[in-house]
């Protein structure tokens, strides 16, 4: 690979400066090197021009390797590598170098050792930075115990590891290649063969996958079987089960490993950082030699800093469980379809329209009886059969003794109100609008009435069949403003501390009214507070079977955690990602979450017939109407009895025709409405109105002919000062 001249000079100067700083004495040249050093130099040439070509190289050498090898500028410039760094084992902690040289898949760390590197490896084991992805060990000293070196935990951090050990074969020095399979029996120092640039021509040939087969090893789980549905106790008593255990079993069948499940942690904590030390399951990874945690843990900064995390496989957060408030009374179901403001707007619009009609229609009369008839015939002629009993009662209450401007059966405003209300209630109306503005106004009014009544009917069906609840807490802001306190089980989660120091005002308020209760195998303290409607329970979405507040806090991604710098983290993460990508993780989750799905399905019942309890409002309204009509009927009967009981004796002979106006009846006022309806019906000729005082029926009055009027004509008596006025229509 060719490099610009300035890059070659930079690499050469960098290598020479580092070499001089590390070693106080000058490096011997090639002429002073022995056979071993020549073989090591040739190995480096083959590696850097072969499988490691194009990679960033980081040399870490001990004192003896610096003495045997010459890293002159010419050698560094001729290396086919984008960049080369050199460092001494004694001063590696002081060296400044990018982290990606130790962790990315491009950088290659070459550790040359002529003496035992145990002291150096012990220091690296305590450093979180040391975790080369690809590590090449070159041992040229007879004092180096390569078997013990490969077992060192600092070297076992590397996912890809290869050892070149100088041996004598047939009188010549050659390098034998080893790797390490820590889970295989006898695999700590596994031979791959003698070095040959044809056999190890690529990176994959040089670095075999050390964790493609775990060799039947048993992984120790840092687990707690109280994490539904990920891992939980089997109700049948057969240990633990869960979606994550199923996924791990699938992974174990492919990678050839088994696992043992821990029922609970020794310290009865979930896993949190307390006073600089980890507790619970995460503490088991650090202090008790456990291999992996598959329980519910969200990714955060502290956990990713101190542990290895797989690629996220599930997205979730924490939610609130609050008990539903008691439903509203069913007898008020007729009022639920509209909000109070909507009811007010409808009533207000009805009254406004009625008042406008009552104010506008009298103003249309220009002073003649024909004008009055025109107004009646145009707008006010109305079939009062739907409201006759009510309007008669209202007429008796609101009519005045003063003469009216018009000759109506009822006060002028009652027909207007009745007409408007009839449209709202979809009652039939017999109208003869003659003016364009009347037709246009009534058309829009009736259209609005149809929309409102249809909306009411549609909503009424839902409110009759479904329980209605008062306004519930649906957001974190509403929860913070409510009187409800918040409870959570104290198993070491980060949520309580995050709430107390949150910059969000609502979350901060919730954090300072949070009550923690100690861990137990069940949630009795938390559920009891929810049932008393005094507390809201915080838990993960999956654990809560019925989350009423559809609002989450601290959403995040769940991962499996392993000890820091675990070599097979990448392998576990890769297989977990494959299971997620093909949808198997979601399938396993749904399988174990079936009980929740069945529970929710049980809450959704099918179509049911309406019961009397659901129709309480309709029956109460019917009872109110019947009682009201009976009251009005009693009032009408009382007036009728008074009319018959207090009539004076007649002062004329039988058979004598009655005069239109007899004496002693000046206090009675008779109003008639004889306007013919649509269709051209005319009043019978010679129709007269006769007032009489007699105990005989009205039809026995002496007259030439008695004619029954069609029902389309109406007549009434409005009493003023006398109670013995009766009306008969005869010809």
- Report whether pLDDT(303) > 80: yes
Q: What is the pLDDT of residue 432?
A: 60
Q: What is the pLDDT of residue 31?
A: 36
Cβ atoms of 93 and 32 within 8 Å: the answer is no
- Tens-digit pLDDT profile for residues 382-430: 343 444 444 444 444 444 444 444 444 455 566 666 777 777 777 766 6
- Report whether pLDDT(488) > 80: yes
Q: What is the pLDDT of residue 645?
A: 58
Helix (H, G, I), strand (E, B) or coil at 207: coil
Residue located via tokens 């040739």: 42
- Report whether pLDDT(701) > 90: no
For residue 287, the tally of other CB atoms under 10 A from its CB is 12
* 668 or 228, higher pLDDT: 228
User: 5-206, what's its fold?
Assistant: Rossmann fold (3.40.50)
Mean pLDDT value across residues 30-58 = 74
Mean pLDDT value across residues 4-28 = 38
Compute the distance between CA of residue 174 and CA of residue 171 in angstroms, rounded to an integer.
10
- Report whether pLDDT(567) > 80: yes
For residue 55, the tally of other CB atoms under 10 A from its CB is 20
CB-side neighbour CA atoms (13 Å) of 379: 27
Q: What is the pLDDT of residue 450?
A: 84
Q: What is the pLDDT of residue 665?
A: 40
Q: What is the pLDDT of residue 158?
A: 93
* 272 or 441, higher pLDDT: 272
Q: What is the pLDDT of residue 683?
A: 46
- Report whether pLDDT(9) > 80: no
Q: What is the pLDDT of residue 283?
A: 94
Domain range summary for the chain, segments of one domain joined by + = 5-206, 212-313+559-604, 337-465, 605-645, 647-730
* 210 or 687, higher pLDDT: 210
- Report whether pLDDT(155) > 60: yes
Q: What is the pLDDT of residue 663?
A: 39
Query: Each residue of 575-585: b (16+ CB within 10 Å) or e?
Result: bbeebbeeeeb
Mean pLDDT value across residues 150-176 = 90
**Local confidence band at 363 (pLDDT 50, 70, 90 cut-offs):** low
- Report whether pLDDT(686) > 50: no
**Local confidence band at 541 (pLDDT 50, 70, 90 cut-offs):** low
User: 212-313+559-604, what's its fold?
Assistant: D-Maltodextrin-Binding Protein; domain 2 (3.40.190)
- Report whether pLDDT(277) > 80: yes
- Tens-digit pLDDT profile for residues 251-269: 999 999 999 999 999 888 8
- Tens-digit pLDDT profile for residues 467-483: 766 667 777 888 888 88
Q: What is the pLDDT of residue 75?
A: 66
* 555 or 60, higher pLDDT: 60
Q: What is the pLDDT of residue 508?
A: 87
**Domains 5-206 and 212-313+559-604 equal at CATH topology level:** no
Q: Determine which of 297-301, 569-573, 678-682 has the lowest per-residue pLDDT on average.
A: 678-682
Handedness of CA 530, 536, 539, 544 (dihedral sign): positive
Q: What is the pLDDT of residue 353?
A: 80
CB-side neighbour CA atoms (13 Å) of 719: 15
Q: What is the pLDDT of residue 528?
A: 77
* 527 or 49, higher pLDDT: 49
Return the HEC string of 259-325.
EECCCCCCCCCCCCEECCEECHHHHHHHHCCCCEECCCCECCHHHHHHEEECCCCEEEEEEEECCCC
Q: What percent of the chain has pLDDT over 90?
A: 22
């Amino acid at each position: 690979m060719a490099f610009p001249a300035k890059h070659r000079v930079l690499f050469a100067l960098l290598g020479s400066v580092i070499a001089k700083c590390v070693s106080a004495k000058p490096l011997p040249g090639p002429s002073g090197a022995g056979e071993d050093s020549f073989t090591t130099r040739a190995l480096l040439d083959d590696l850097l021009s072969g499988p490691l070509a194009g990679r960033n190289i980081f040399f870490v050498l001990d004192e003896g390797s610096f003495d045997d090898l010459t890293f002159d500028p010419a050698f560094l410039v001729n290396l086919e590598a984008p960049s080369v760094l050199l460092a001494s084992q004694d001063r590696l902690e002081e060296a400044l170098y990018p982290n990606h040289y130790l962790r990315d898949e491009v950088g290659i760390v070459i550790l040359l050792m002529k003496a035992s590197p145990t002291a150096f490896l012990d220091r690296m084991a305590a450093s979180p930075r040391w975790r080369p992805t690809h590590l090449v060990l070159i041992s040229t000293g007879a004092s180096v115990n390569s078997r013990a070196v490969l077992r060192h935990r600092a070297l076992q951090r590397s996912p890809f590891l290869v050892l070149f050990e100088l041996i004598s074969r047939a009188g010549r020095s050659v390098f034998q290649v080893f790797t390490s399979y820590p889970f295989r029996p006898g695999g700590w120092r596994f031979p791959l063969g003698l070095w040959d640039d044809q056999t190890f021509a690529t990176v994959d040939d040089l670095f075999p996958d050390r964790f493609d087969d775990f060799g039947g090893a048993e992984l120790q789980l840092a687990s707690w079987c109280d994490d539904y549905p990920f891992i939980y106790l089997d109700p049948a008593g057969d240990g633990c089960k869960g979606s994550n255990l199923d996924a791990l079993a699938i992974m174990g069948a492919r990678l050839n490993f088994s696992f043992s499940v821990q029922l609970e942690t020794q310290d009865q904590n979930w896993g949190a950082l307390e006073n600089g030390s980890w507790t619970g399951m995460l503490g088991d990874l650090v202090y008790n030699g456990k291999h992996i945690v598959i329980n519910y843990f969200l990714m955060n900064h502290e956990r990713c800093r101190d542990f290895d995390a797989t690629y996220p496989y599930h997205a979730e957060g924490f939610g609130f469980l609050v008990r539903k408030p008691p439903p509203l009374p069913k007898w008020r179901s007729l009022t639920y379809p509209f909000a109070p403001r909507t009811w007010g707007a409808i009533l207000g619009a009805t009254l406004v329209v009625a008042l406008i009609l009552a104010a506008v229609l009298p103003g249309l009369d220009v002073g003649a009886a024909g004008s009055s008839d025109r107004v009646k015939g145009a707008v006010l002629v109305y079939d009062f059969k739907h409201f006759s009993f009510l309007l008669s009662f209202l007429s008796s209450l609101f009519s005045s003794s003063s003469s009216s401007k018009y000759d109506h059966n009822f006060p002028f405003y009652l027909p207007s109100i009745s007409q408007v209300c009839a449209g709202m209630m979809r009652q039939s109306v017999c109208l003869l609008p003659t003016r364009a503005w009347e037709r246009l106004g009534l058309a829009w009014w009736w259209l609005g009435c149809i929309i409102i009544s249809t909306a009411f009917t549609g909503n009424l069906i839902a409110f009759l069949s479904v329980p209605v609840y008062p306004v519930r807490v649906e957001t974190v802001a509403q929860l913070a403003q409510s009187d409800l306190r918040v409870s959570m089980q104290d198993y070491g989660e980060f949520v309580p501390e995050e709430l107390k120091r949150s910059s969000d005002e609502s979350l901060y308020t919730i954090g300072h009214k949070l009550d923690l209760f100690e861990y137990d195998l069940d949630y009795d303290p938390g559920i009891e507070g929810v049932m008393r409607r005094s507390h809201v329970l915080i838990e993960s979405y999956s654990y809560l079977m019925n989350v009423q507040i559809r609002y989450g806090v601290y959403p995040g991604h769940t991962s499996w955690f392993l000890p820091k710098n675990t070599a097979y983290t990448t392998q576990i993460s890769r297989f977990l990602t494959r299971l997620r990508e093909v949808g198997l993780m979601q399938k396993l989750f749904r399988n174990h979450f079936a009980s929740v799905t069945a529970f929710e399905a049980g809450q959704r019942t099918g179509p049911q017939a309406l019961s009397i309890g659901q129709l309480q409002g309709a029956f109460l309204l019917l009872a109110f109407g019947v009682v009201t009509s009976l009251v009005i009927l009693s009032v009408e009967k009382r007036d009728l009895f008074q009319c018959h009981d207090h009539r004076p004796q007649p002062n004329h002979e039988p058979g004598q025709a009655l005069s239109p106006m007899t004496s002693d009846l000046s206090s009675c006022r008779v109003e008639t409405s004889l306007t013919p309806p649509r269709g051209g019906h005319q009043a019978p000729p010679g129709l007269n109105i006769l007032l009489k005082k007699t105990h005989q029926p009205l039809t026995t009055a002496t007259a030439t002919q008695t004619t029954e009027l069609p029902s389309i004509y109406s007549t009434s008596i409005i009493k003023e000062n006398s109670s013995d006025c009766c009306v008969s229509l005869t010809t």
